[in-house]
Amino acid sequence: MKLNVEDKEDRLFVQIGGQLLYSEADQFKEEVLPKIGQHSTVTVDCENLEFIDSAGTGAIVRLWKECRMVGAELELIRVLPEVQKLLHMTRLHQLAKVTGIDEAA
């Protein structure tokens, strides 16, 4: 998993690549969650996120919870279809704004 977290004014911009699996979920949480501060939006760019499993979805739910605590909105952008499919299956699109790679942000 490749992870890059950037603080852009009131937006926390997270770039994730590779796979977000059980084996990477803890790392994801450890590296992203502490960086959430006074942001109004947390954006996860999933352009390079190839795969996600239930543990990965769990990590995203955790991220959503953290955002909610600080009043920030969570958005997942440029999500690849396979990942988007799982996000919909697990209804994460009801928690966060999910935009596909082919959709306008």
Partner 1 sequence: MSTNESKIIPFEFDSLRDVDSCLAEVKKLQNQLEEERRATEKKELIMTKSLQESKQMSTHLQQITQALAKERKAALEKSEKERLLWKLIERINSSFDLEHILQSTVDELGHYFKVNRCGIIIPNYKTSRDLVREFAVGEWKRSQEVYSNVSLSVLYTTVTKSLKPLIINDTITHELTAGHLNEDLRSILMVPLLQYNDELVGVVYLHQCRKQRTWSEHELSLLQAAAGPIATAVEKTKLFNKAKSWAAREKLLNKLTSRIRGTLNINVILERTVAELGQALQVSRCFINIIDSRTSREKISNEYSMTNIKPLGIGIENPLIINKITEKNADYISIIDIFKEPRLIKLNDKEIEQLYKTGARAFLAVPVTFQRKLFGWLCFHQCNVPRNWTSEEIAFIQSVASQVGVAINQAEMVEKLTEYQTKLSRELKQAAHLQSVLLSTGADVNKNLSIAVSYYPHHNVSGDFYWLCELAPHMVGILIGDVSGKGPAAALLTGYIIGEIKGLLENQETSWNPEVFLTALSNSIYEQNQYSDFYATAWYGIFDIVKGKVICSNAGHPCPYLVQKDSSAVRKIPDEPGVPIGLLSTKDFSGGFVRKEFYLNPGDRMIIFTDGLTEQRQLDGSFIPEVWLREALLKLKNYKLNEIPEALIKILNIVSKGAPADDDRLIVAVEMPENKKITLTENDHDIIKEKIKFIIDDTVNNGMPRALEASLKLGLLEALYNAFRHGLPKTPKDKNPNIQLCWWIRENIFSCSIIDSGAGFNWQKTLKNKSKIKDVDITSEGGRGIPLLLEIFNKVSWNPEGNELGLTLKW
Chain residues in the site for partner 1 (CB under 8 A): 21-23, 51, 53-55, 57-59, 61-62, 64-65, 82, 85-86, 89-92, 94-95
Q: How far is the CB of 81 from partner 1 (least distance, A)?
A: 9
Residues 6+ apart with CB under 8 A from 5: 12, 13, 14, 15, 31, 32, 35
Rounded CA-CA distance 75/88 in Å is 14
Residue 11 or 90: the one with the smaller Cβ distance to partner 1 is 90
Q: How far is the CB of 90 from partner 1 (least distance, A)?
A: 6
Residue 8 or 23: the one with the smaller Cβ distance to partner 1 is 23
Q: How far is the CB of 88 from partner 1 (least distance, A)?
A: 10
Could you give phi then psi for residue 95, rounded to 5 degrees? -95, -45
Residue 11 or 73: the one with the smaller Cβ distance to partner 1 is 73
Mapped onto helix, strand or coil, the DSSP state of residue 35 is helix
Residue 9 or 27: the one with the smaller Cβ distance to partner 1 is 27
Mapped onto helix, strand or coil, the DSSP state of residue 61 is helix
Question: Six-digit token pair at 85?
Answer: 């499919």
Q: How far is the CB of 24 from partner 1 (least distance, A)?
A: 9
Rounded CA-CA distance 83/100 in Å is 9
